Chain A
Amino acid sequence: MLELRNITKRFGDVLANDQVNITVAPGTIHAIVGENGAGKSTAMRIAYGFYTADSGEILIDGTVCPIATPHDAIARGVGMVHQHFMLVGPMTVAENIVLGAEPGSALALDRAKASADIRRLSDEFKLAVDPDAIVDTLSVGQQQRVELLKALYRRARLLILDEPTAVLTPREVEEFFAILRSMRTQGKTVVIITHKLSEVLAISDEVTVMRDGRSVRRLQTKDTNAAELAHLMVGREVLLRVDKPEATVGTTKLSVRNLLVKGPGAIARLDRVSFDVRAGEIVGIAGVEGNGQTELIEALAGLTPPSQLSGEVRLDGQDITRLGARIRRELGVAHIPEDRHRRGLLLEFDLAENSILGVHYRKPAVAYAGGIFLDNPAIRRHAAGIIDAFDVRPANPDLSARALSGGNQQKLIVGREFDLRPTLLLVSQPTRGVDIGAIEFIHRKLIALRDSGCAVLLVSAELEEVTSLSDRVLVIHAGRIVGEVDPTIATVEQIGLLMTRGH
């Protein structure tokens, strides 16, 4: 159906695709796996005409096709659903789908025909999407199906899906996979880009593994397993399981009582939450994203305006509810934020400057306490220490943070926050968008920090990460903590039910 032959693409100094070969058989679900920056998305964007390859050929149905724009791709029956949806929120599903391919005359949109066409398509693929619903009122999972419909409406025979499950709950993932299977039975071909090995094994017929911009292997899914795929992706043996000793729990470090955070419109985003975190333990917060986790961590880090919150937060018995971020840091609270580009890094600044964010006014960033002149040699030594200890690559303090891969950016942040020698670590999505090798590294560091007596509060959208790292798991739903489970006993299904239904 689709074949990429010796595709090479260079962005500046970076070779994003190097002689990539991918063959997708018609009527199959083909997974493309690889670490972040392995070139998966680039290859598929070339197939969709988003980028033009520097060299190489694209074949569709066995003939060489020049695909210069997404328009060409659509004309050949190739559709793509992006990681970030491209929908117009206030418009209806039907209006969104026909946008750019409206039926009727140039002046009058034939709404009835559009609506009927879409309903027929939706039924055919069991998508259960109402063409007349306003997009903003739909859940993320439904919006994704609108994106699918958009491609199907343009008669796509091959659908490229870029990390489609990243935004879905476990239950929605199941439903989504059912849809993909029904599309396959209807004769469609699906390419799914992912870095989650469990999904590859669950849904695909064939896999292409990519590493460092090259396609390293094409495999039949039934002939492979997670360990082999991980090995191919990283290029070495990887420990997929987290090994951790029993926790030695100390005194209560963080004590949260009836914490309430108001969002816009005075709606409680976090609703009277109470819990404790003790020294030497990792407490995990499991929940579907957007159920108050962000508000919780930001409130604990001192980033929420006091006017928006009520309740009480104590650190080592001291009331810190109304203290700002700087004082909390001085009291030993470190914070690895969920969005490293928005919160965690100054992307235009170099690594040395990023290494002192939050401690830029005290030693070693300034030569003497209270001084205002930055001690650049000391800052560079400080950065070099973090870069060395946390294996940040390339190990050059003068490089801008933007030049680093996601995994290395994350290692820099983790290193910076660990360097505070915190008594409480707030950590959110520690391994999001981070490649497998770095995930393993960050997990080991978190366990080591716990064993040194730090209290850790962990939020992650990856249920497996929460259950494997945490000593206790609290489940959050609609801004409330709805239960506590023992991760060594509870099953994923039990936690999943609590996450989605709240009981």
Chain B
Amino acid sequence: MKLLRELMFPLIAVLAAFVLGAIMVLIVGDSPIQTYALLFSSALSWPDGIGYTLFYATPLIFTGLAVLVAFRGGLLNIGAEGQLYVAAFATAWTAIVFANLTAWVLLPLCFLAAIVAGGVWGAIPGLLKARFGSHEVINTIMLNFVAVALVSYLTQYHYKAPGDPIMETTTIGAGAHIARLGRFIPGFPERIPLNLTFVFALLACLLVYLFLWRTTWGYEIRATGSNPSAAEYGGISIRRQMVLAMAVSGALAGMVGVNEVLGYRYRYYDGFSANYGFTGIAVALLGRNHPVGVLLAALLFGMMIRGGIFVDAFTNHVSKDLVDVLQGIVILFVAAEAMFRGPFAQYGLLKRSKV
């Protein structure tokens, strides 16, 4: 019952977005049924459709979880984009510099590099807020610019192969490669970049759930997010929670770098992120800031990204911008939820006014 109610508004939002999207497809002069059929069949075909859908969903699961953890702590992390860039570069750097190490040492080291780099990049705005009270939204946005410029600089002037016209680093050591799922699944080709990071993403959903709802640390983060005054009253250091929540958030965003560098391109490729950090906000919002919801929302968005490419290529008029429009409408509807819940919202206000 409770689950149904939680799922209802996101479902309505998604359905409404597809209905509005259908109208737009009609207006530009294509058949909505054919367009959607194309979108879903290309996103769910075996093995390529499913493989790529899950591959596209992987970074969104991590960024969605990142936004979720910060949000539960009462913070808006708009900086997952910057955190994942820094982390991706850090893991590539580690895998290049220590390329000779054996995989058993190198792989954990590369993971650590991504998590620590993302975590530190996330913790900075947390620290600034705890120490000076400066708003994390401003600081995370600003740090996005810093991160992008920093890793571009490092790539261009220090880690690019001589003569390479593309903004990318040299390749990483083979010991740092993460196995693609094709190696384990018969009939699933290894050319599809879906790799073990997806399994880690599923694991991360579980771990984030356990962390937030089953540990004292998570309790403190959620208490701070829910009511900082009450948390303080309960002997919780709300400054410490700000830093902790942002560090965990940044570390989760950093795992995108693992997927990208160790599981896909085997090098750092500048500007690789297709706005994963920002789409993570949408994923968390649609997923109602719950790990299960984030997983489902990321899978949906992964499907739309995969399907959008085919819609773009194989319809006469519809471009892949349809997907962006659909995502935008979904978010509008989810954000407007308070409006749908009018009578309940009114009741909530009433209760609050009777202190």
Residues of A within 8 A of B (CB): 11-12, 14, 36-37, 41-42, 83-84, 301-303, 324-327, 329, 335, 337, 339, 341-349, 353, 356-358, 360-361, 365-366, 371-374, 376, 402, 406, 432-433
Q: Are B216 and A358 in contact (CB under 8 A)?
A: no
Q: Decide yes or no: A349 and B235 within 8 Å by CB, A37-B354, A341-B355, A373-B215 being known contacts.
A: no
The number of residue pairs between A and B whose CB atoms lie closer than 8 Å in the complex comes to 91
Q: Are B355 and A346 in contact (CB under 8 A)?
A: no
Assembly CA distance A346 to B344 (angstroms): 19
Besides A344-B233, A371-B216, 5 other A-B contacts (C-beta < 8 A): A329-B235, A357-B233, A361-B216, A373-B216, A374-B215
Q: Are A303 and B232 in contact (CB under 8 A)?
A: yes
Neighbouring B residues of A335 by C-beta, 8 Å: 233
Assembly CA distance A406 to B232 (angstroms): 21
CB distance from A421 to the nearest CB of B (A): 17
Chain B contact residues, majority secondary structure: helix
Neighbouring A residues of B220 by C-beta, 8 Å: 360
CB distance from B132 to the nearest CB of A (A): 15
Chain A contact residues, majority secondary structure: loop
Contact with A along B319-354 (1 / 0, CB 8 A): 000000000000000000000000110111011111
B217 contacts A by Cβ under 8 Å: yes
CB distance from A34 to the nearest CB of B (A): 12
Q: Decide yes or no: A11 and B350 within 8 Å by CB, A344-B230, A348-B226, A374-B214 being known contacts.
A: yes
Query: Which residue of A41, A42, A301, A432 is within 8 Å of B233 (Cβ)?
Result: A301
Assembly CA distance A371 to B215 (angstroms): 9
Assembly CA distance A329 to B229 (angstroms): 16
Interface size class of B (residues with CB under 8 A): 20 to 34
Neighbouring B residues of A346 by C-beta, 8 Å: 222-223, 226-227, 230-231
Q: Are B227 and A345 in contact (CB under 8 A)?
A: yes
Query: Which residue of B214, B233, B353, B354 is within 8 Å of A343 (Cβ)?
Result: B233
Assembly CA distance A41 to B348 (angstroms): 15
Q: Are B233 and A347 in contact (CB under 8 A)?
A: no
Closest 7 CB pairs of A and B: A326-B235, A357-B234, A11-B347, A358-B234, A325-B235, A343-B233, A361-B216
Q: Are A343 and B216 in contact (CB under 8 A)?
A: no
Q: Decide yes or no: A324 and B235 within 8 Å by CB, A11-B350, A342-B227 being known contacts.
A: yes
Q: Are B230 and A406 in contact (CB under 8 A)?
A: no
Q: Are A373 and B214 in contact (CB under 8 A)?
A: yes
Q: Are A433 and B227 in contact (CB under 8 A)?
A: no
B209 contacts A by Cβ under 8 Å: no
Cβ < 8 Å to A, chain B residues 201-241: 214-217, 219-220, 222-223, 226-227, 229-237
CB distance from B210 to the nearest CB of A (A): 8
Q: Decide yes or no: A365 and B216 within 8 Å by CB, A12-B347, A326-B235 being known contacts.
A: yes
Q: Are A433 and B355 in contact (CB under 8 A)?
A: yes
Q: Decide yes or no: A358 and B214 within 8 Å by CB, A11-B347, A348-B226, A402-B351 being known contacts.
A: no
CB distance from B336 to the nearest CB of A (A): 20
CB distance from A264 to the nearest CB of B (A): 14
Pull 14 A–B residue pairs with CB atoms less than 8 Å apart, ordered by A.
A84-B353, A303-B233, A327-B235, A343-B230, A346-B226, A346-B230, A347-B226, A349-B223, A357-B230, A357-B234, A360-B223, A373-B216, A374-B214, A374-B219
B219 (CB) vs chain A CBs: closest residue: A360
Assembly CA distance A41 to B355 (angstroms): 13
B227 (CB) vs chain A CBs: closest residue: A346
Assembly CA distance A347 to B219 (angstroms): 14
Neighbouring A residues of B233 by C-beta, 8 Å: 301, 303, 325, 335, 337, 343-344, 357-358
Neighbouring B residues of A326 by C-beta, 8 Å: 235-236
A82 (CB) vs chain B CBs: closest residue: B353
Neighbouring B residues of A14 by C-beta, 8 Å: 347
Cβ < 8 Å to A, chain B residues 288-327: none
Most buried by A among B216, B230, B348: B230
Query: Which residue of A41, A347, A356, A372 is within 8 Å of B227 (Cβ)?
Result: A347
CB distance from B154 to the nearest CB of A (A): 37
Q: Are B226 and A349 in contact (CB under 8 A)?
A: yes
Q: Decide yes or no: A339 and B219 within 8 Å by CB, A324-B235, A346-B230 being known contacts.
A: no
